[in-house]
Chains A and B, each alone.
Chain A
């Protein structure tokens, strides 16, 4: 093995999302001669970004004054908010909670906004490298983080070098900023190594699925923001939907459900598709076509689950740490603010030290503190959740109690211990027919001749304990049909079945890494440039 080539930067930023790009832009605004690079595993900037998204514009005003004259490609002022409680056939309009009031906010495609921000960053001479995955952390001799190692390319499924094999290089940097988004695979390792979560609650997550539709002319009302709760979820399962009306007859429709659900037979993707068949939405979508679709895990733990965000040589920002405001259903403004704050801290101190304290004393964490009890309030069901969250909202989170957050992998009940409610789900007729068809609209692509990037640490568990206890929930919680249990003549034990991993379907949502009850699925980066190719998501 030859020594890896090395590139040196002052700051290396992992992930070209709103946090990373805000950090990069601010760094160069403060210190133009700083060498800053952003590394992004998506084939282009925005290809792996999936968000609603309604954003609060203040951080953009701070970062890019004058942006309103030259806004991102999809940017529609919110005109109206609606919150609906759905029953199977009916709907009840609820008052919009204050956190969800969106006057002055904008509906954007976060993916195209990131591509737009990347151009601003490049104009400031930030080096942006899409299509390259930061596969590993590079540690200095003293144990501090000293940069990242780019994944090798051109390795076949057996691990052998292909003709076009290219060894990944090392990027050395005085400061590494991790902004991989929710459940980043490097962030996960660093949280463990530096015990960043030893003083906080476990993290909790949701799965968000989204489709961008072109509907029949006249059905989209640009600027209308709708949220729903209730059907098709039972009262014990947290979640709801968003319907954002864009221009050009486009509608962004999405569904989020807490990954702390208990039903081992629950199928989040099916729940999303069912939701679309509620009369209110069916009418809206009928006759339209899907332009793009995808899924992504969402970080929901908030204040209680926020890990320490600094370690020697590195910072953890945005949803890689977990700054999403659940009741607002927004994280972009938090990510951007945090990115700017990280940049300012690096500029001031040239060190990671002291960042976490600064963050906890900032508006970013204060915002999380105010709403800290709302998500866990729903642990006892939808109705108690409504009541408790109303109280928390009215009191601005000033009540002295703080509810604790539970993890998601242990909430799943075993088959024998759970009786699923009758969900009364309906026959569907809107596309996509199934998860494979949905993946098609994600335009996800992986060179099939490469090592499987979903590593099963103890494969025997899948066909034995997991099959018995949970009936292999990975085959249901994955929104991309990556996991299948298939009969195979060659398997002589365990009922002749084996786990088939269709890794090339993966949309990099990270749900498997989170929800697997045995925690034996480890998501690692595939070859750079692989994964979904979201368009305006």
Chain B
């Protein structure tokens, strides 16, 4: 079985993201870029499945400009066997990403596709579900536990009400949550080995995917600042104030 893992190049989670003064975007000048942390967890899970003998090959896929090769190399250094860059100069919205991934799936015929539950830049949380829909295969989102049993998998999902368990037939799309595993650190010698692993580059056009139906992204604004509220004198006033606001 092959496992396909999607990884996205995003502004590192430690970076304090700041909206540009003219509202045209966020300041990415000189900021650290990383693999989306949820995708790192997806890759770690794929590697563990492979290393346990339940898959033969782990392929990392990313859509973007050539700069995303850096993140693909990180994936290879973590242990993926090969990488595919879906080359596009435009930032893809989830539907286009899902369509492009579907084309790669048709070429590679994976038994499992693992993705992060969302990317920490646009926070869309759509691509995995869209891919499953287009592929007409099962989806299991926000996985905190994944067990393979032959042609199916048992997935524990983190939902608002607790932990939901579902069983899905493979092939399927699983998107992963924070608690699934702790990704490994990359070993220095593996960085060197990763330089020699294969990286295929295929353009969006070659895949036959056209970008359609994009949402138009307009003005960027910083979040509203919280303002100073009122002061109360004692516990009784506090309780009254909370009751007035319907909070008690």
Q: Which residues of A contact B (CB under 8 A)?
A: 5, 7, 43-44, 46-47, 73, 109, 111-112, 115, 127, 129, 132, 150, 153-154, 162-164, 166, 169, 171, 214, 249, 291, 440-441, 443, 445, 533, 535-536
Contact = CB atoms under 8 A, between A and B. Distances in A.
Contacts of B183: 164
A443 B185 contact: no
15 contacts: A7-B189, A43-B32, A109-B30, A127-B192, A129-B191, A162-B182, A163-B181, A164-B182, A164-B184, A166-B184, A166-B187, A169-B187, A171-B188, A533-B12, A536-B29
A154 B29 CA distance: 31
B21 A154 contact: no
Contact of A169 (B29, B32, B184, B188): B188
Contacts of A73: 29-30
Contacts of A153: 185
Contact of B30 (A115, A129, A154, A164): A115
Contacts of B29: 73, 535-536
Interface centre among A150, A162, A166 (most CB of B within 10 A): A166
Contacts of B244: none
Given A43-B12, A73-B30, 18 more contacts: A5-B187, A7-B189, A43-B14, A44-B32, A47-B32, A73-B29, A111-B30, A162-B182, A163-B181, A164-B183, A164-B184, A166-B185, A166-B187, A291-B18, A440-B16, A443-B16, A533-B12, A536-B29
Interface string B188-211: 110110000000000000000000
B26 interface: no
B47 to A, nearest CB: 12
A440 B14 CA distance: 10
Nearest to A163: B182
B184 A132 contact: no
Nearest to A116: B30
A173 to B, nearest CB: 13
Contacts of A171: 188
B32 A5 contact: no
B161 interface: no
Contacts of A112: 30
Interface residues of A: mostly helix, strand, loop or mixed? mixed
B15 interface: yes
A154 B16 contact: no
B31 interface: yes
Nearest to A291: B18
A112 to B, nearest CB: 5
A150 B188 contact: yes
The 3 closest A-B pairs by CB, nearest first: A166-B185, A153-B185, A445-B14
Nearest to A537: B30
Contacts of A214: 21
Contacts of B182: 162-164
Interface of B: 12, 14-16, 18, 21, 29-32, 181-185, 187-189, 191-192
A168 B115 CA distance: 29
A92 B15 CA distance: 40
B15 A533 contact: yes
Contacts, number: 58
Contacts of A127: 191-192
Contact of A7 (B14, B30, B188): B188
A401 B181 CA distance: 65
Contacts of A44: 32
Given A164-B184, A443-B14, A443-B16, A535 B31 contact: yes
A44 B71 CA distance: 13
Contacts of A154: 185
Nearest to A43: B32
Contacts of A166: 184-185, 187
Contacts of A440: 16
A44 B14 CA distance: 12
**From B21, B30, B32, B187, residue with most partner A Cβ within 10 Å:** B30
B17 to A, nearest CB: 11
B15 A443 contact: yes
Contacts of B181: 163
B170 to A, nearest CB: 26
Contacts of A443: 14-16
B14 to A, nearest CB: 5
Contact of A132 (B21, B31, B188, B192): B188
Nearest to A127: B192
A5 B189 contact: yes
Contacts of B14: 43, 443, 445, 533
Given A164-B182, A166-B184, A536 B30 contact: yes
Nearest to A46: B30
A5 B185 CA distance: 15
A131 to B, nearest CB: 8
Nearest to B44: A164
A71 to B, nearest CB: 14
Contacts of A111: 30
Nearest to A528: B185
A211 B18 CA distance: 16
A48 B24 CA distance: 29
Contact of A535 (B15, B187, B188, B192): B15
B156 to A, nearest CB: 18
B33 to A, nearest CB: 9
A43 B185 CA distance: 13
A163 B183 CA distance: 9
B198 to A, nearest CB: 20
Contacts of A5: 187, 189
Contacts of A535: 15, 29-31
Contacts of B188: 7, 129, 132, 150, 169, 171
A166 B181 CA distance: 15
Given A44-B32, A536-B29, A169 B189 contact: yes
A127 to B, nearest CB: 7
A166 B185 CA distance: 7
Contacts of B189: 5, 7, 169
Given A163-B182, A164-B184, A164-B185, A533 B32 contact: yes
B147 to A, nearest CB: 18
Contacts of B12: 43, 533
B191 to A, nearest CB: 7
Most buried by A among B15, B183, B188, B189: B188
Contacts of A445: 14
A417 B133 CA distance: 77
B30 A441 contact: no
A255 B18 CA distance: 25
Nearest to A530: B14
B42 to A, nearest CB: 16
> Which among B32, B187, B191, B192 has the highest number of chain A CB atoms within 10 Å?
B32
A43 B30 CA distance: 13
